[in-house]
């Protein structure tokens, strides 16, 4: 009887530990999928015709996340909707939102799909 009770208690503890780990592992899996999708998006180096020291021209392109001008040799993230942002600005946004900050296009697809 004591042995059976011990086995039942051990099984309950193991089931409890496993159920506590599952939500975290699902979150980790979703984060890994988002990171993989981010890595598949295009990036490019910004190349401007003006000298690095000269002031930006009126109407020069800016990052809609940080509102700063694009500068030579900065890495830009090119989203499928063709909007461009500083990679370091938009990647954290996409980790949380998964949509373009300007047009709300679903950049990373369905967050729960397996593709």
Please, what is the average pLDDT of the chain? 78
- Among 114, 109, 97, 102, which residue's Cα sits nearest to residue 41? 109
- Among 108, 72, 73, which residue's Cα sits nearest to residue 90? 108
Q: How confident is the model at residue 42 (pLDDT cuts 50, 70, 90)?
A: very high
- Can you give the length of the chain in residues? 115
Can you tell me the mean pLDDT for 93-114?
81
Quick one: pLDDT at residue 112? 46
Who's near 71: CB < 8 A, 6+ residues apart?
Answer: 46, 48, 52
Can you tell me the mean pLDDT for 102-112?
79
> Picking from 20-24, 39-43, 72-76, 86-90, which range would have the lowest pLDDT averaged per residue?
20-24
Q: How confident is the model at residue 34 (pLDDT cuts 50, 70, 90)?
A: confident
Q: Is 43 helix (H, G, I), strand (E, B) or coil?
A: strand
Instruction: Look at residue 113 and tell me whether its pLDDT is greater than 50.
Output: no
**CATH fold group of domain 42-115:** Herpes Virus-1 (3.30.40)
């Amino acid at each position: 009887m004591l042995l059976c009770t011990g086995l039942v208690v051990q099984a309950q503890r193991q089931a409890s530990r496993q159920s506590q780990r599952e939500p975290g592992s699902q979150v980790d899996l979703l984060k890994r999928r988002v990171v993989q999708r981010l890595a598949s998006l295009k990036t490019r180096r910004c190349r401007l015709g003006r000298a690095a020291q000269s002031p930006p021209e009126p109407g020069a392109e800016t990052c809609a996340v940080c509102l700063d001008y694009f500068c030579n040799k900065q890495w830009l993230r090119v989203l499928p909707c063709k909007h461009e942002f500083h990679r370091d600005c938009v990647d954290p946004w996409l980790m949380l939102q998964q949509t373009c900050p300007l047009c709300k296009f679903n950049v990373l697809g369905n967050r729960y799909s397996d593709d």
